[in-house]
Amino acid sequence: MIQMKNVYKKYPNGIVALNGLNVEIAQGEFVYIVGPSGAGKTTFIKMMYREERPSSGQMLIDGTDIAKLKSRKVPLLRRNIGVVFQDFKLLPRLNVYENVAFALEVIEEKPKAIKERVMEVLDMVGLKHKAKMFPRELSGGEQQRVSIARSIVNTPKVMIADEPTGNLDPETAWDIMNLFEQINSKGTTIIMATHNRDIVNKLRHRVIAIEGGLIVRDAAGGDYGYED
């Protein structure tokens, strides 16, 4: 479903982030992306939703090279991809419900459908009772759950997470991982960049290790494998 062919990325400042990368990820997979800081993990992830474009090579999703996608088609691509960040990126002046609904409003969903769907995902992440609260009134874990709810509210095929547990304590991190497992079990592909050795080693999935812009290891059910 996701396929990278010789993806090479050089930033205008001369840094080569990806150096001819080849990878294939099937629908429904759960993939960890690991590697030291500056290895190219974030660039790798940004390629998937066309935040960045390859300098050369192909970035295929369902057979379409999204690097060549016209910019007015990019929004349609992104409606099929949910993104979760380390810093949650919630809108502080909107409450929990509004933050999640926002993702549907901007794609002009019908109000009735929005309400049903938002309550459904809030229930799933266990925050239905906090729908009226604002982000600042929530704990870090709760905020991350809101951002996960937002990312899956329009039922994307792929969920991309960049260090989703980076700002959370170990226990809360596990709550989030349980949620990811649950989402993955429903068929959503999950691609997660992480530094969390504990999670990668205990919750075994495919591990792709990136170093110097290249894949140095790609193992199904592999371990974290770094000493950092």
Partner 1 sequence: MKIRTFGRHIKESLKSLGRNGWMTFASVSAVTVTLLLVGVFVMIMMNLNKVADDLENDVEIKVFVSLDADEEAIEQLEEEITDLAGVESADFSTKEEELTDLVLDFGEELSLFEQSNPLFDVFYVKAVEPQQTETVAKEIETLEYIENVEYGEGKIEKLFDFLNAGRNVGLILILSLLFTAMFLISNTIRITIVARRTEIEIMKLVGATNWFVRIPFILEGMWLGILGSILPIGLIVVLYQRVTEFAQPRLSGELFQLLEFSPFIYQVSALILAMGIFIGIWGSFMSIRKFLRV
Provide the H-helix boundaries in the chain. 41-48, 74-78, 96-105, 111-124, 140-152, 170-185, 197-202
The one segment of 24-32, 102-110, 163-171, 196-204 that binds partner 1 by CB under 8 A: 102-110
Distances (CA, A) of 168 to 145, 164, 173, 179, 196: 11, 8, 6, 14, 11
206 binds partner 1 (CB under 8 A): no
The one segment of 22-30, 118-126, 149-157, 186-194 that binds partner 1 by CB under 8 A: 149-157
CB 62 within 8 A of CB 1: yes
113 binds partner 1 (CB under 8 A): no
- Single residue of 13, 14, 70, 71 touching partner 1 by CB under 8 A: 71
89 binds partner 1 (CB under 8 A): yes
CB 93 within 8 A of CB 43: no
Q: For 143, what's the count of Cα atoms within 13 Å in the CB-facing half-sphere?
A: 21
- Single residue of 38, 56, 62, 106 touching partner 1 by CB under 8 A: 106
- Single residue of 76, 113, 216, 219 touching partner 1 by CB under 8 A: 76
The one segment of 60-68, 104-112, 181-189, 219-227 that binds partner 1 by CB under 8 A: 104-112
CB 194 within 8 A of CB 33: yes
**Strand, coil or helix: what is 67?**
helix
Chain residues 172-201 in contact with partner 1, contact rule CB under 8 A: none
Give Cβ neighbours of residue 84 (< 8 Å, ≥ 6 apart): 144, 147, 148, 151, 159, 160, 161, 162, 164
91 binds partner 1 (CB under 8 A): yes
CB of 125 to partner 1, least distance (A): 16
- Single residue of 145, 150, 195, 205 touching partner 1 by CB under 8 A: 150
- Give the footprint of partner 1 on this chain (CB under 8 A): 49, 51, 71-72, 75-79, 83, 89, 91, 102-103, 105-108, 111, 150-151, 154
